[in-house]
Amino acid sequence: MISSDVIRGHIDTLILKLLMEKDMYGYELANEIKSRTLDKFDIKEATLYSVVQRLEGRALIASYMGEKTHGGKRRYYKITPFGKAYYSEMISEWKLLKEIMVAILGSDIRE
């Protein structure tokens, strides 16, 4: 498992990427993150909802109520055009961070 402190600055980017693929509800986002990271990152529910509220407050994502399912209606999240532009900026920053880390640590990092 990765420390939440290490990944904190990248959670927005991860969520925006998933929402670029399709609209999702909170539990689905959390499960997708856990599944794609092979259980190395399990986002806490409180953290997830804090992040989506912040992203929605910044107009990077929008929410809507989905169709009623077995447990009732679910709130889905979708990325906005502004969110897509922000995602592109975050990817550029991530690439720069990766270059910096490799420049200092080298590409052959030993455990």
Give residue-wise pLDDT tens across range 19-47: 999 999 999 999 999 999 999 898 988 99
The residue to which tokens 């922000």 are assigned: 86
Task: List the structure tokens of 79.
Answer: 């990325």
How much is the pLDDT for 9?
81
Which residues have CB under 8 Å from 91's CB, separation 6+?
13
How much is the pLDDT for 2?
73
Report the amino acid identity of residue 59: A
How much is the pLDDT for 67?
77
By percentage, how much of the chain surpasses pLDDT 90?
Answer: 65
How much is the pLDDT for 98?
87
> What number of other Cβ atoms are within 10 A of residue 58's Cβ?
13
How much is the pLDDT for 22?
97
How much is the pLDDT for 101?
87
For residue 62, the cross-strand partners are 78
- Which of 3.40.50.300, 3.30.450.40, 1.10.10.10, 1.10.3720.10 is the CATH number of 4-105? 1.10.10.10
Which residues, given as ranges, of the chain have pLDDT below 50? none
The pTM is what?
A: 0.85
